[in-house]
Amino acid sequence: MIKIQHLHFSYDKTPILKDISLSLPKGGFLGIIGPNGSGKTTLLKIIAGLLKNYRGEMTLEGKSLSSLSRQEIAQKIAVVPQDTSIPFSFTALEIVLMGRTPHLKLFAFETKRDVDIALKAMELTEVRHLAHRLMDDLSGGEKQRVIVARALAQQAPILLLDEPTAHLDIKHQIDIHNLVQRLNRDKGITVINVLHDLNLASLYCQEVLMLKEGSIGFHGPTKKVMTQDNIEKIFEAKIYVGQNKDTGQSYYLPRS
Amino acid sequence: MKPLTLSKWLSTIFLLTVFLIAVIIFSVWVGAEKIDFVRFFQMTSERDRDILFYSRLPRLLLGAITGGALSSAGAAYQSLLRNPLADPYTLGVSGGAALGSIFGMGLGLPFTLISLMAFMSALASMGLIYWIARLKGHLPAHTLLLTGAIFNAFCFAIILFINSVVTIEQVHQIIFFLIGSLSTESYQKIAVIGGFAGGGFFILMISSGRMNALSLGDETALHLGVDVGRFRCFIFFAASLMIGAVVSVCGLIGFVGLFIPHMVRLIWGADHRLLIPASALMGASFLTLSDTLARTLLTTSAYQTELPVGVITALLGGPFFVYLLKKQQRCLL
Amino acid sequence: MVKMQFFKKSVVGGLMLLTIVAGCNRSQPSKPLPTHVPTIVSLKPNVTEILFQLGLGDKIVGVTKYCLHPPEAQKITKVADYVQANLEKIIALKPDLVITSHENSTKREIVTLEKLGIRVLTLPFYSLQDIFDSTEVIGEATGAGQRATSLVSEMKRDIQEIQDKIKGLPPPKALIVLDHRPLVVAGGGSLFDELMVLLGVENIAHQSKIRYPHFSTELMIGRAPEVILDMAMAVNVNNVKNKEGFLEWYQSFSSIPAVKNNNIHFLDVSLFHPSARIIEGIREMAKIFYPKVFFSS
């Protein structure tokens, strides 16, 4: 689905990403982790088509990313950014409906079908009841769930997330990640998720890419790659890896 | 508030258009000189004909076009700059357009060229202000306002400099120009700026669909498939065309582009597909009514003088601007 | 000894008192200056004209950019434009007297000059009576008192002559236009209005209490003046293009009698500078308002 070959990216002569190559099939679920400044968000932006002056090749479903128009990219890729501020008084439903923009003509109105898709997306992220409330009046967590709903309303086969649950309480963190996982398993949506939280990465991602200073540190299936050694090398911090006796799932804690 | 549908759009636009027509008809009959309906329709009075068609109607049309242009351009700037305090006047774009017009007048150019000079200066001003105020892809409100204020001050300084080197006749022209008035202009001029403003408005209308996404920020808009760079150019171009056109005829009329879009948002929501045309219609009505007030308020008194419409809009808009600023400050806290 | 002390003190005290009293009366001289005629700086075009009319042209050392009449005035050093004076230049010329008018004068500049010991005369020129009075004051301050008095009498005589010619004639309805966009006219209380009243002309803007109101064009149409005197400053009477442009503008208001009958006249507004030259202006006005009377003469 997504293929990246020998990607190099610099910003003002400072190299940010060095020789990144990876290939993600349809239905894959990739987590990107790494220390601050390792280039995670930059990589995500490049995949989303936001940054253009990179060296190397990037293809989406076989087509080169640079050959696609903005609208075409948006029909294939939906992004949930870290946080957004909205200066105008839009309602939650209006914001989610904007997710339909890639599918609308220049001056068109949303059809009933569009509205249904938006409402369904809001149900999935449990914000349906807030549809006609102004975004200004919602809590940080509610706002974030509306943004996730907007990305879902885009109905794109690829979903990119940049720390989508950073401001949410634990219940909603679990809910959103479970939702994304369901979409990945049942609907075959390809997911790339940038995460700080090692536990979430380990719990939900099938494969993990560990970046350090712009280069690939380690890449592969989660269980194989997220070892204590590797993590300590990448993050230069001491950690403790435990195992959940019931599920066999690893968990990661700081070690003083 | 439910999201925008075609029927809501049509009914609102229809309502506002009817209102505007009513305002124009009302304003045509209101004035210092009494017009007799019956006598007018019998078309026997030359005096009535002159008053209605050569004194009042041109002003009304000019007011409607100017009010519509300033309001919709204001709404467009607000979406693009993601800031409800943006307006051609506060941003300094009107000041730049005024400077361009004055250059044109000083050079003695024919009117259409003066209008074009105003348009180009508006565009250049917008570009310059945008470039100065931009910080890592964001345009924080205080920086934008500050840049606009300084830019306005700069333009005025140059205008005053020009004032000191031109002949005394031109000095008077320049000062009256700056005040902002809709004094009787010829139908030709009105047609010219109507054309420019209409063209700009058309571009805004087509882009209005994408303005919603644009108002969420460059990155989000890109993610939603909007070619931000291209639309930003279109919108700045169109808004500058409209502002250049109206400023070159009417001088500086402030706050309309601030006041009207805010009111429209309060009543009908922030969806730009409705905001742009509704602002234009409401702005047209508002300025026409303000001008009717300006030309009748003191005319029937012992002073028998007209007020420039810029005075009325400033008196109404100034306090409103302060209110908006305070509201924003509270939100930030 | 004590008597001498007391005498000295009272003389000194008396002199001090006299100086203070004399100093308080700075702007209006209580007595004419001694026989030598002072060098003068004029800060207003009409003041320059008056000085020349009093035969004091060669005593003027500084004028403004706009002092164009008489032509000799243009050769004198420029020390000011219409509103702002170049104080350094004025001080460098070391004039004995600076004369300006109340209108459009900067108090601060006047005070600064006075502080430096330069005498400043600020005079009103709002009405005909002001012109007469101020001319006499200038005459007194410059030792040309007699010439001033006879000039004023001449002016009064000329005005009377004109008034006699038009006595008993029906008053025409008129409007004096000073700018087009916005339409600025001469209202009640302006010097122009006074002249119109003098000539028995009905000024359709007379009711306005403001000297130069922004008139609504519909008022101009509604009150239907028979004569329009256009003195817009942008009108250079010799500039055909400007005149044509303005005449075209009037054509939109074709219901106005003045427009229909081609009774729109252009005059140079500087003819009406508040000096003796205004008599010429009044004469031109009379010719325009009462063409039948003046064409024969």
Report chain C (297 residues): mean pLDDT per 10 consecutive residues: 56 52 45 62 89 88 86 86 78 87 78 85 90 91 88 92 87 90 86 91 90 87 91 61 79 89 87 88 90 67
Separation of alpha carbons B266 and B257, rounded Å = 15
- Can chain B be said to touch chain C, i.e. do they have 3 or more Cβ pairs within 8 angstroms? yes
By a Cβ cutoff of 8 Å, what residues of chain B touch chain C? Answer: 31-33, 45-47, 49-51, 54-56, 164, 168-170, 172-173, 176, 181, 183-186, 295, 299, 302-308
DSSP B87-153: -HHHHTHHHHHHHHHHHHHHTT--HHHHHHHHHHHHHHHHHHHHHHH-BTTB--HHHHHHHHHHHHH
Q: How far is CA A144 from CA A109, A114, A193, in A?
A: 25, 21, 15
Q: Could you tell me if C178 and C220 are in contact, meaning their C-beta atoms sit under 8 angstroms apart?
A: no
- Unique residue bearing structure tokens 């830019």: B151
Separation of alpha carbons A43 and A56, rounded Å = 13
Strands of chain A, DSSP E:
2-11, 14-24, 29-33, 55-60, 63-64, 77-80, 158-162, 190-194, 207-212, 215-221, 239-243, 250-254
Q: How high is the pLDDT of residue C297? A: 46
Q: What is the DSSP letter of B55?
A: I
Q: How high is the pLDDT of residue C142? A: 87
**Of the candidates A69, A72, A98, which has its C-beta nearest B213's C-beta?**
A98
> Which of B7, B12, B224 best tests the A interface by mutation, with the highest count of A CBs <10 A?
B224
Q: Could you tell me if C99 and C123 are in contact, meaning their C-beta atoms sit under 8 angstroms apart?
A: yes
Q: How far is B197 from chain C (nearest CA, A)?
A: 22
Question: What single letter denotes the amino acid at residue B312?
Answer: I
> Which of B144, B202, B223 best tests the A interface by mutation, with the highest count of A CBs <10 A?
B223
Q: How far is A150 from chain B (nearest CA, A)?
A: 10
In this prediction the pTM is 0.82
Bridge pairing between strands C227-230 and C264-266: parallel
Q: Is A60 on the interface with B (CB under 8 A)?
A: no
Per CB-CB distance under 8 Å, the chain B contacts of C256 are 50
Q: How high is the pLDDT of residue A246? A: 86
Is C254 within 8 Å of B302 when comparing Cβ atoms?
A: no
Is A70 within 8 Å of B220 when comparing Cβ atoms?
A: no
Q: How high is the pLDDT of residue B68? A: 96
Is B1 within 8 Å of A132 when comparing Cβ atoms?
A: yes
Q: How high is the pLDDT of residue C19? A: 47
Tally of CB atoms within 10 A around B232:
18
Separation of alpha carbons B182 and B197, rounded Å = 16
Per CB-CB distance under 8 Å, the chain A contacts of B213 are 98, 101
Residues in chain A, pLDDT under 70: 87
Give the rounded distance of the alpha carbon of C11 from its chain centre: 45
Q: How high is the pLDDT of residue B128? A: 86
pLDDT in tens, C14-24: 555 554 544 44
Q: How far is CA A122 from CA A148, A202, B24, in A?
A: 9, 27, 46
Residues in chain B, pLDDT under 70: 135-141, 167-170, 172, 184, 328-329, 331-333
Is A88 within 8 Å of B273 when comparing Cβ atoms?
A: no
Chains that touch A (3 or more CB pairs under 8 A): B
pLDDT in tens, C145-199: 889 999 999 999 999 998 888 888 888 999 999 888 778 899 988 999 999 998 9
Is the bond leading into A164 cis (omega within 30 degrees of zero)? no
pLDDT in tens, C154-167: 999 999 998 888 88
Is A75 within 8 Å of B225 when comparing Cβ atoms?
A: yes
